[in-house]
A = this chain, B = another copy of it.
Amino acid sequence: MNFSVTVLGSNSAIPTLQRNPSAHLLNANERLFLIDCAEGTQLQLRRYKIHFQRIKHVLISHLHGDHFYGLIGFLTSLHLLGRKDELKLYANPELKQIIELQLAASRTSLSYPLIFHPLLSNNKELIIDAERLKVYSFPLLHSVPTHGFLFLEQHHSAMRMRHARSYAYCSDTSYCEDIIPFIHGVDLLYHEATFLHGMAKQAHEKFHSTAFEAATIAKKARVVKLLIGHFSARYDDLQPLLNEAREVFPCTELAEDGKKFDILPVTPNTFSENC
């Protein structure tokens, strides 16, 4: 059964022709979750042949444009394509009015129910409790209210011997050890690494992390694999960011647009790639 993450965008702040800003797609046993939705995400979904209408849940980490400016276009395209199934949206409460105002301006009444769930908690909170998956939000440390997300596979009692797979998404955040209990031991941790550590001062001023810091969190949280992303547009070559992280935490990969990471169910802590 599938448990995979597809990177739809790996840049911070400004879209470039090489890297779109933040969006990830989690496929958890054929349930599709869209996590963040920067401008251009709907085109990325087309590019990587992911069927829009199969997405049932959208989670927005925070209201910086590089994480949600593509949402209204995505919601509108679902409508224009005739969606009937409800869509659940988890985000900062301010997003509701932003969406409603834009739909009102275009005199659009969506063809499907859009169920809005405000993210309000300053603690770990269970936000989705589905048959075979639990999703939690937890606070990150950024310049505006920001949530990370933890996806945790659930097994029926008959399947308890199997490893329950997990994925955590942490963008954007300063280096923050408070998040370690929320992400401890996950199979795959996505943690932003906007800058190289030589720019740690700028990173802290902007409430972002360096590759070194992302790797330090991964190490302290004893995760299986680290995925770094949200790269500053100043870096054409990402290898130095990867090298910096791997010095601290060898099992690190670069988030690159279109790359898919499979988490295997066979045994605990096993990946399709060597680590």
Report A's interface with B, CB cutoff 8 A. Answer: 13-17, 39-40, 42-43, 46-47, 63-65, 69-70, 72-73, 76-77, 80-81, 92, 94-95, 97-98, 101-102, 104-107, 143-144
Contact = CB atoms under 8 A, between A and B. Distances in A.
A16 B46 contact: yes
A21 to B, nearest CB: 9
Stoichiometry, copies per complex: 2
Contacts of A106: 63-65, 144
Contacts of A94: 101, 104-105
Contacts of A92: 105
A106 B61 CA distance: 12
B98 A13 contact: no
Contacts of A46: 16-17
Given A15-B42, A63-B102, 8 more contacts: A15-B43, A16-B43, A39-B42, A39-B70, A64-B106, A94-B101, A95-B105, A106-B144
A92 B40 CA distance: 24
A14 B81 contact: yes
Nearest to A69: B73
A80 B43 contact: no
30 contacts: A13-B80, A14-B77, A14-B80, A14-B81, A15-B73, A15-B77, A16-B43, A17-B43, A17-B46, A39-B39, A39-B69, A39-B73, A40-B40, A40-B43, A63-B102, A63-B105, A65-B72, A65-B73, A65-B76, A69-B72, A69-B73, A69-B76, A69-B102, A94-B104, A95-B105, A98-B101, A98-B105, A101-B101, A105-B144, A106-B144
